[in-house]
Amino acid sequence: MIIERVILENFGSFKGINPIDVEPIEKQNITLLIGHAGAGKTSVGKAIRWALYNRPFHEGNEDREYTKEGILRLFFRSGGGATEDRPPTVNHMSVQLDILPSETAKAGLKEHGYGFGKFTLERTASLSGKVIPTTRDLILPQLSLKAPDQREVEDPEGIIEEFFLPASTSSFFMFHGDRIKNLTKQIEKPVTDDIKQILDVTAMNNATVDLEKVMSQLSKQVNVASKNETARIEKQTELDRLEKSIERYQRTLHEKEEERKNAREKLSRLEKENEGLLEAAGLLKDVSGKKGEIKMLEDQRDGIDESLQSMLDQFPREALYHFLYRRAFVVRETDRRNKTHNKIIEELRQKKDQIEQLKPGGKCPVCKQPFPDHLVSARQKELSAIDEKINVERQAIRPLDPEFEDLMQTVIRLESIKYNPRELKIQRFQIRNQITDKENELRGIRGKLGEYDEPNVKARASTITEDIERLSSAEGRLGEAIDKLNSDIDKFGQAKKRVEKELVFLGGEGSEKARKEFGVAESLRNVFADAVIDLADQKRDEIARMAGEMLLGITIKSDLFHKSAPVEVDDNFQVMAINANSRPLEWDVQSSSEKSLLSLSFIYGLLRASEKEAPVILDTFFGNLDPNQVTNILARLPGFGPQIILMTTLTEFNDLTTRTDSPFWSHVARFVLLRNNKSTDWTTKYKTFTDLSEARAEAVTLQAERGGITAGVKKDE
- Alpha-carbon distance of 642 to 28, in angstroms, equals 9
pLDDT tier for residue 244 given thresholds of 50, 70 and 90: confident
pLDDT(67) > 60: yes
Report residue 500: phi and psi, to 5°. -60, -40
pLDDT for 473-488, tens place per residue?
A: 888 888 888 888 888 8
Per domain, the residue ranges of the chain are 2-165+612-712, 230-297+451-506, 316-418
- The answer for residues whose C-beta is within 8 angstroms of residue 216's C-beta and 6 or more apart is none
What SS3 class is residue 9? strand
Burial class (CB in 10 A: 0-12, 13-18, 19+), 553: middle
190 preceded by a cis bond (ω within 30 of 0): yes
pLDDT for 380-396, tens place per residue?
A: 788 888 888 888 888 88
pLDDT(188) > 50: no
pLDDT(462) > 50: yes
Determine the pLDDT at residue 102.
85
- Alpha-carbon distance of 561 to 409, in angstroms, equals 129
pLDDT(221) > 60: no
How confident is the model over 331-349, as a mean pLDDT?
A: 83
Vertex 167 angle, CA 536 and 133, to 5°: 170
More confident residue, 366 or 677: 677
More confident residue, 284 or 339: 339
Q: Residue 345 in contact with residue 390, Cβ under 8 Å?
A: yes
CATH of range 316-418; options 1.10.287, 2.60.40, 1.20.1630, 1.10.3210: 1.10.287
Average pLDDT, the chain: 76
Topology of domain 2-165+612-712, per CATH? Rossmann fold (3.40.50)
How confident is the model over 562-591, as a mean pLDDT?
A: 78
Stretch among 140-144, 406-410, 710-714 having the lowest mean pLDDT: 710-714
Residues of the chain with pLDDT > 70, as a percent, come to 68
pLDDT(539) > 70: yes
Determine the pLDDT at residue 660.
77
Q: Residue 208 in contact with residue 528, Cβ under 8 Å?
A: yes
Q: Which of 90, 67, 66, 79 is nearest to 8 (CA)?
A: 90
How confident is the model over 649-664, as a mean pLDDT?
A: 88
How confident is the model over 415-440, as a mean pLDDT?
A: 73
- Alpha-carbon distance of 186 to 201, in angstroms, equals 20
Determine the pLDDT at residue 93.
96
> 444-452: which pairs have CB atoms within 8 A and are 24 or more residues apart?
445/283, 445/286, 445/287, 445/290, 446/287, 448/279, 448/280, 448/283, 449/280, 449/283, 449/284, 449/287, 452/277, 452/280, 452/283, 452/284
How confident is the model over 631-653, as a mean pLDDT?
A: 88
How confident is the model over 614-630, as a mean pLDDT?
A: 79
The CA distances from residue 618 to 68, 185, 396, 519, in Å, are 26, 18, 117, 51
Q: Specify which of 171-185, 195-209, 485-499 reaches the highest per-range mean pLDDT.
A: 485-499
Determine the pLDDT at residue 189.
46
pLDDT(536) > 50: yes
More confident residue, 279 or 563: 563
pLDDT(654) > 60: yes
In single-letter form, the type of residue at position 422 comes to: R
Q: Which of 139, 83, 145, 135 is nearest to 114 (CA)?
A: 145
Determine the pLDDT at residue 205.
46
